[in-house]
Amino acid sequence: MKGKILITPRAFAKNGMKEIEKLKQQGWEIHLNDTGKSYSHEEFVKYAKDVDGIIIGVDIADREMLKGCKNLKAIAKYGVGVDNIDLDTAKELGIKISRTVGSNSVSVAEHTIALMFACAKRIVDGAINVKNGKWNKNYEIELMGKKIGIIGFGNIGRHVGRLAQGIGMNVCAYDVFPINEKYAKEHNIQICSLDELVRTSDVITIHTPLTSETKDMINAERLKEMKTTAIVINAARGGIINEADLYEALVNKEIFASGFDVFSTEPPKTDEKLLRLDNFILTPHTASKTLEADMNTIKMSITNLITDIEG
């Protein structure tokens, strides 16, 4: 036996059984979460304590948990956000961390564009009105010729820019890391400051990780700087946009609409005020839930983990 691997993301039981069989044939002992629901933290800690590697989803790998895993050599994140892993402790213990960067970029970018259209065209509100026996007609927004501001210009951000240009939008981008000027010039991307992006964009979309620096990046002050016709999209992580401030901006018509695929608490509380608004859309963190993205992420996370374990 080569070693033990714990796999917690539910997508593996649904779409990854062929890949798991390959691992078994190679000599790996696999513990798979095939329960159809997420493990409790206690279950996760119990199953992780003697494994060599973990493919992790939403489970919390905190300091106490990591210190209890004496054989653990590597953790492969099923996805890109590693805010559920104590990276400092992992580094201290010599546990390698990998991410599946780019595996679901197309799916998330397409979902971002779908939320943009849904907000601009009042799709959800209009459909619900008709189902409730109404025939209300609201003014919508054309997107052709408008500016989309992309905060975070990695794999997903670049795909969003490409799709937006396909419908005739102008693209500006901001990132805390330098944006490749040659790429920007070749693809007609305007590189701008965060302040300029917030003030001048018709659509603002977030594609950054949640960190201490990005938490509440979009707050009451930033929202007041936006156009009253602006649409704000968050398909990255809950908490990057201050949700209480967003509620006030939407109620007071400081911006036009907002579409989220993530929330600070998932699922949100049943009395969440934002959910009562007809100019706010929330989907249940499904931007990456496509078969194509699942297969890409399954294969990449396995490759990453085995590479790190075997050195």
**Rounded distance between C-alpha atoms, residue 18 and residue 230, angstroms:** 45
Task: Give the amino acid at 96.
Answer: K
Q: Which of 138, 200, 140, 134 is nearest to 172 (CA)?
A: 200
Report d(CA 24, CA 19) in Å as an integer. Answer: 9
> Is position 92 annotated as part of the catalytic site?
no
Q: Which of 266, 276, 292, 310 is catalytic?
A: 266
Alpha helices in 49-188 (DSSP H): 63-67, 87-93, 105-120, 123-131, 155-166, 181-186
285 is a catalytic site residue: yes
In the set 99, 111, 122, 237, the catalytic residue is 237
Q: Tell me how far apart the alpha carbons of residues 205 and 235 are, in angstroms, rounded to a whole number.
A: 8
Rounded Cα distance between 78 and 88, Å, is 19
**Catalytic annotation present for 266:** yes
Pairing type for strands 203-206 and 147-151 reads parallel
| CB neighbours of residue 113 within 10 Å | 23
Q: Which residues are catalytic?
A: 237, 266, 285
